């Protein structure tokens, strides 16, 4: 047995969270003819893990606590 060989690859648990934003062309600035883009948060959040687990886009108030998420998908 080769004890110096690398071990197996694994997709370890690493949670990340993203906030969804919406963008629209703002009102016309008649002096310059420009429309600045306006951005705002939609209130939807998505939690994803490097292992493949994801909550999908859900309202922020419905995102489970970190401890609960970890328990739900087998993380440590
Ligand atoms: Zn995970």
What are the sequence ranges of the domains in the chain?
A: 15-73
Tokens at 38, concatenated: 């306006």
pLDDT in tens, 18-45: 999 999 999 999 999 999 999 999 999 9
- How much distance in Å is there from the Cα of 66 to the middle of ligand 1? 11
Cα 12 from chain centroid (whole Å): 17
- How much distance in Å is there from the Cα of 44 to the middle of ligand 1? 20
48 and 56 in contact (C-beta within 8 Å)? no
- How much distance in Å is there from the Cα of 54 to the middle of ligand 1? 8
52 and 75 in contact (C-beta within 8 Å)? no
Tokens at 64, concatenated: 């489970």
Higher pLDDT, 70 or 76: 70
Question: Is this prediction's pTM over 0.85?
Answer: no
| pLDDT over threshold 90, residue 75 | no
Tokens at 26, concatenated: 């703002």
Q: Which of 20, 72, 28 is nearest to 51 (CA)?
A: 72
């Amino acid at each position: 047995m080769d004890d110096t060989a690398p071990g197996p690859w694994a997709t370890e648990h690493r949670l990340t969270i993203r906030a969804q934003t919406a963008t629209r062309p703002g009102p016309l600035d008649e002096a310059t003819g420009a429309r600045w883009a306006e951005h705002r948060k939609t209130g939807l959040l998505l939690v994803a893990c490097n292992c493949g687990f994801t909550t999908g886009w859900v309202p922020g108030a419905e995102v489970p606590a970190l401890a609960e998420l970890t328990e739900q998908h087998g993380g440590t």
